[in-house]
Amino acid sequence: MPETRSMANGNGAAVRSAKPAKDEEENIFLFYPNLIGYSRVVLAVASLYYMPLHPRTCSLLYSISCLLDALDGLAARHFEQSTKFGAVLDMVTDRCTTACLLVFLASAWPRWSIVFQGLISLDLASHYMHMYATLSMGGSGQSHKKVDESRSWVLKMYYSNNKVLFTFCALNELFFIALYLLSFSSPLLSPTLLKDGESPASLHMGSPAAPKPSMIFTSPWSAGAMEYARANKMDSTVPWILAIISAPVMLGKQWINVIQLVKASKWLAEGDLLERRRQGLPRKIAKKTQ
């Protein structure tokens, strides 16, 4: 109940005035969008656990985690719970899960590892530079999703339209999930899946010859060995279709990452020039007169 105290009015009668109670402090960490973000992290970690040998389970958990990325934004707008912590949590989760999947692809296809390493570096660098530039140059109320059209109409369209943003992010992840499934199902990309006597040199595009399953799993009846056998019998038709459909969008996403990196770098450089001018740099040294 609110605290009350007695006061005397002009006639000497005691009256009570209510003192407003202190507002309850909100717990940002328990906001609905952030709870969804925590569930995404749990699903992502679970998908990583199943990633080496359980492609179906891993793909399902990973896909659900990615789809929840759209739900937390809807919850933030519906419950008016948009926070900087939630925005950072969302971006960090996206970057980490994608990087982990690309690390697996680099290990599945060592000959193409430099490509996956480059994609990881571009993704992390472009988003870090963009977020740092917007937060340091745009003021206290600036968000990484608020991009002025004069700086880049591509980034403006990408971040301001939720449908465009979701489409690019979803199909980008779908492409890498399809590659992940192909590492278990396509002999064209993974020659180790070919039967004995069916490994022409022209097909050696992926990993080198791998040891037999019996050398990896001590017991042929172990859960890992059973899943390994089932995975090698996966049909590659659907993953190939998904990869072909999503490939153009994935390439477009990498192009946007390059633009994002370049624009953020230029924005930071502009800020550096303004700061140097404010400090009167470079200082010109007066020539000594003889």
Q: Which pLDDT tens digit goes with each residue over 84-109?
A: 899 899 999 999 999 999 999 999 89
Domain membership of residue 8 (yes or no) is no
> Is the bond into 282 cis (omega within 30 degrees of 0)?
yes
pLDDT above 50 (res 156): yes
Across the range 98-123, mean pLDDT stands at 95
Contacts of 158 (CB under 8 A, 6+ apart): 147, 164, 165, 168, 256
Contact status, residue 72 vs residue 37, Cβ threshold 8 Å: yes
The rounded mean pLDDT for the chain is 81
**What pLDDT does residue 285 have?**
60
In a domain, 152, yes or no: yes
Element (H, E) at 193: none
Output the pLDDT for position 84. Answer: 87
pLDDT tens profile 124-153? 999 999 988 988 887 656 677 778 887 889
Residue 16 placed within a domain: no
pLDDT of 205 above 50:
no
CA gap 96, 109 in Å, rounded = 20
Percent share of the chain, pLDDT over 70: 74
DSSP-assigned beta bridge partners for residue 267: none
R_g (Cα) of the chain, nearest Å: 28
**Tokens for 3?**
């605290």
Q: Which of 11-25, 60-74, 106-120 has the lowest mean pLDDT?
A: 11-25
Let me know if residue 284 belongs to a domain.
no
Token reading at 273: 């020039």
Domain with 33, as residue range(s), is 28-196+224-268
CA distance 91 to 135: 14
Amino acid of residue 194:
L
E strand or H helix that includes residue 19: strand 14-19
Q: Residue 175 falls within a domain, yes or no?
A: yes
Looking at the domain assignment, is residue 80 inside a domain?
A: yes
- Give Cβ neighbours of residue 225 (< 8 Å, ≥ 6 apart): 213, 217, 219
Consecutive H or E run containing 1: none
SS3 category, 15 = strand
Residue 151 lies in a domain: yes
Neighbouring-strand partners of residue 6: 16
> How confident is the model over 17-30, as pLDDT tens digits?
444 445 578 999 99
Structure tokens at 254: 């990498």
Number of separate domains in the chain: 1
Q: Is residue 277 part of a domain?
A: no
Closest by alpha carbon to 19, among 32, 29, 7, 31? 7
- 100, with CB counted inside 10 A (0-12, 13-18, 19+), is middle
Residues 184-203 have a mean pLDDT of 63
At residue 133's C-alpha, the angle toward residues 131 and 136, to 5°, is: 105
CATH number of the domain at 140, please.
1.20.120
Whose tokens are 């039967």? That residue is: 195
How far apart CA 127 and CA 123 sit, in angstroms, is: 6
| 8 A C-beta contact, residue 158 and residue 256 | yes
Active site residues: 94
